[in-house]
Amino acid sequence: MRGLKNKRVLITGGASGIGAATAARFLEEGARVVVLDRDAAAGERIRQELPALSGSIVADVSDPEVVACAFTELDHLCEGVDVLINNAGISIRHSFMEITPREWQQVLGINLNGVFYVAQQAARRMLASGGGVIINMGSTNGLMGYPYYADYNASKAGLIELTRSMALELAPTVRVVAVCPGYV
């Protein structure tokens, strides 16, 4: 990666897994990184593992009011955002017939609604400051179905289409892409 020195990067779901690895990589490139995660203990652990982080924000991306408050905190920490890695996501493995309404709402709330809420807040700031990049974490599950993941598959397929719409509407000022890894 090049040209990331002092770029302001927000990574949702940044306290573990792909998010934590992404945070470490952006820090290596000299970016100013803030992680956002709903797990306060994991947020504290990542702060200890990556002391160069500019901050760690505890927030549930499925709640638009909480997301708005998180961005107020981000503005205090970094005065905006140049790169958003929309990585927060969950999976509850059940057969289609066993998924409860609560589980369905929880998975779509984080994996799709959360992407929308966070991206909208980030895009407002990016448009006002002249540009930015939004990377939404999709999945191969959003491209083809897998059994026992109906809720997750639906959320990731929706994320991919949301990303396409955002890319068309926000271009050329904000670049928007989805990355679709397989099982990690």
Q: Name the catalytic one among 117, 149, 152, 183.
A: 152
Within the chain, strands assigned E span 8-12, 32-37, 55-58, 83-86, 132-137, 174-179
What letter represents residue 175's amino acid?
R
Task: Tell me, yes or no, if 183 is annotated catalytic.
Answer: no
What letter represents residue 146's amino acid?
Y
Among 60, 59, 152, which Cα is nearest to 111's? 152
DSSP letter for 52, please: T
Q: In this structure, what token pair is assigned to residue 3?
A: 């040209």
Cis peptide before 172 (omega within 30 of 0): yes
Separation between Cα atoms, residue 86 and residue 83, nearest integer Å: 10
Q: Which residues are catalytic?
A: 152
